[in-house]
Amino acid sequence: MIEDQADTLADLGLCEVAKAIARRNVTSVAVTEACLARIGQMADRLNCFLAVEKDAALAQAAQADAAVARGQVVGPLHGVPLAHKDLFYRAGRVVTCGSRIRRDFVPTITATVIDRLEQAGAVTLGALNLAEFAMGPTGWNEHFGPTRNPWSVDHVSGGSSSGSAAAVAARCVFGSLGTDTGGSIRVPAAFCGVVGLKPTQGRVSRYGVMPLAHSLDCVGPLARSARDCARLLSAIAGPDPFDPTASPQGVPDYERELDGNIRGLRVMVSRTLVEEIGDAGIRQMLTRSLDVLRDHGVVLIEAAMPDLALLNTLNAVVFLCEAATLHGKWLRERREEYGPQVRERLLAGLLYPATRYLEALSLRGKLLEEFVSRVFGAADLLYLPAVPAGVPTVAEASTRDVEAALILNARLTPFTPFSNYLGLPTIAIPAGFAQDGLPVGFQLIGRPFAEALLLKAADGYERAVDSGPKMCV
């Protein structure tokens, strides 16, 4: 396949390519080869793949094409190449979790979400880089190196789902799964200019996913449009007998309501908060996104924000205590095998008394109820910046000064961990590019299980700004 054809195919959206395969306008093998060609061009520069499974992917694609030839399209992702953060278990395959400790770990089970994607017909291209054990908003990885940003290779992609966002933005795959415990889907989505959705706590099964903090972890999609995210979420959401924490609520057709109409939608925002952002390029793009929403009929409701810092603190206590518990044995026996940034964060979780942890968990229901009443009593959605600071350089993220690294992490995440603590669904949406040419994103937050509304709003915004796919480096 010549390079131009490969780029043209790889530049299609996930839903477009699924439709083209199902209609026999293109084969899954051709699409998979196009993705492999993009990976060949990009993956080394970006360091977004930890493993490329070329032969297995082409065999899966050939099977998908044979099924189409027989008139069998097995599901809405038939023949579509995807790859995921390397912490989703696949029986018999190494899953590193971005760590030295699990460099050779071979699980005996397959994650429910991976099973569901394959049942929907997806082709798996390989495994994607991530921050070590999914800890770190820059995506820095001591063992496998940083994932670089497709819009500027001197900058990081964000994390912890670093490879997912970079591979999607670079057109190496049509979509990817990530996980989010404090912003790990939304931060890289914002830094790479793609859409990332953290679902409601319990909306998506976590069976067979390396945990970080049981009470907070969410699995969600990253893709180049809201519609593509909707397709992926429809495939993975829903009850799971293997995960008792998965909600029994039925799953709607998330694509059905994507009609582009956002008129009359009530969105709460603090313009003051946006105006206080120091980076003029980010401020300008966020202001423009609010203007676009308003000009397309969204009712912006100005309001002071709840105390997000307090909610973030509660998230940190739960997160650190649970993560330190999970890693306790390795912290004792294999301390030197952790990168210093991750090790020091984990150690902090050992210091909280059990009563602090239980206080943070016990306050969760009450604070969620208050938040929902205050915000969603007056509005349908809440608007926040995704990240109020510029994308860090690789040099900034790779500092050996742990204290500096933790300060940088905190600077990137004032607006993301709270929705994990409250369990609320949140979507990160591209808002354009700052003066340095790097992407800027904003978030919309909804009531519990309001994923359909979030996707509808994101889709409406995309149509309003006509933010079709753009090619990066």
Is position 310 an interface residue for other proteins (rule: CB under 8 A)? yes
Cβ contacts of residue 166 below 8 Å, gap of 6+? 46, 48, 129, 147, 148, 149, 150, 157, 188, 192
Q: Which stretch binds other proteins (CB under 8 A): 65-73, 93-101, 360-368, 411-419?
A: 360-368
Among 1, 106, 280, 351, binds other proteins (CB under 8 A): 351
In angstroms, what is the C-alpha Rg of the chain? 21
d(CA 359, CA 349): 15
Residues binding other proteins: number (CB under 8 A): 43
Q: Which of 63, 110, 313, 393 binds other proteins (CB under 8 A)?
A: 313
Q: Which residues contact 441 (CB under 8 A, 6 or more apart)?
A: 186, 189, 190, 191, 193, 385, 386, 387, 428, 429, 430, 431
Least CB distance from residue 420 to other proteins, whole Å?
12
Closer Cβ to other proteins, 86 or 217, answer by number: 217
CB of 98 to other proteins, least distance (A): 21
Kindly indicate which of the ranges 20-28, 83-91, 172-180, 309-317 contains the residues binding other proteins, using the contact rule CB under 8 A: 309-317
One DSSP character per residue, 313-362 reads HHHHHHHHHHHHHHTHHHHHH-GGGS-HHHHHHHHHTTSS-HHHHHHHHH
Q: What are phi and psi of 98, to 5 degrees?
A: 70, 20
Judged by CB under 8 A, the residue of 59, 368, 465, 473 near other proteins is: 368
| Residue 65 or 451 with smaller CB distance to other proteins | 451
369 binds other proteins (CB under 8 A): yes
Check binding of 200 to other proteins (CB under 8 A). yes
Pairing of strands 426-433, 195-198: antiparallel
Angstrom distances, CA of residue 128 to CA of 144, 189, 402, 463:
11, 14, 25, 30
Which tokens sit at 53? 């499974």
Contact 70, 137 (CB under 8 A): no
**Alpha-carbon 339 to chain mean position:** 23
Active-site option among 160, 164, 215, 419: 160
| Cβ distance to other proteins smaller for residue 1 or 309 | 309
Catalytic residue among 157, 162, 184, 205: 184
Determine the interface stretch with other proteins among 7-15, 200-208, 258-266, 458-466 (rule: CB under 8 A): 200-208
Residue 99: active-site member: no
Shortest reach from residue 453's CB to other proteins, in Å: 7
Residue closer to other proteins, measured from CB, 151 or 449: 449
For the question of residue 160 being annotated catalytic, the response is yes
Question: CB atoms < 10 A from the CB of 71, how many?
Answer: 6
Nearer to other proteins, 372 or 473 (CB): 372
Q: Does the active-site annotation cover 373?
A: no
Binding status of residue 332 toward other proteins by CB under 8 A: yes
Binding status of residue 56 toward other proteins by CB under 8 A: no
- The 10 Å CB-count burial string (b at 16+, else e) for 187-216 is bbbbbbbbbbbbbbbbbbbbbbbbbbbebb
360 binds other proteins (CB under 8 A): yes
The per-residue b/e assignment along 123-151, b for 16 or more CB within 10 angstroms, e otherwise, is: bbbbbbbbbbbbbbbbbbbbebebbbbbb
Distance CA 187, CA 140 (A): 13
Residue 391 backbone dihedrals phi, psi, to 5 degrees: -70, 125
The pattern of x and - marking residues 270 through 299 that bind other proteins according to CB under 8 A reads: ------------------------------
If one asks whether residue 347 binds other proteins (CB under 8 A), the answer comes out as yes
Q: Does 458 engage in binding with other proteins (CB under 8 A)?
A: no
Using rule CB under 8 A, residue 407 touches other proteins: no
Among residue numbers 420 through 439, which ones bind other proteins (CB under 8 A)?
423
Residues that bind other proteins (CB under 8 A): 200-202, 247, 249, 310, 313-314, 316-317, 331-332, 335, 344, 347-348, 350-353, 356, 358-366, 368-369, 372, 376, 403, 406, 423, 446-450, 453
Query: Known catalytic residues?
Result: 85, 160, 184
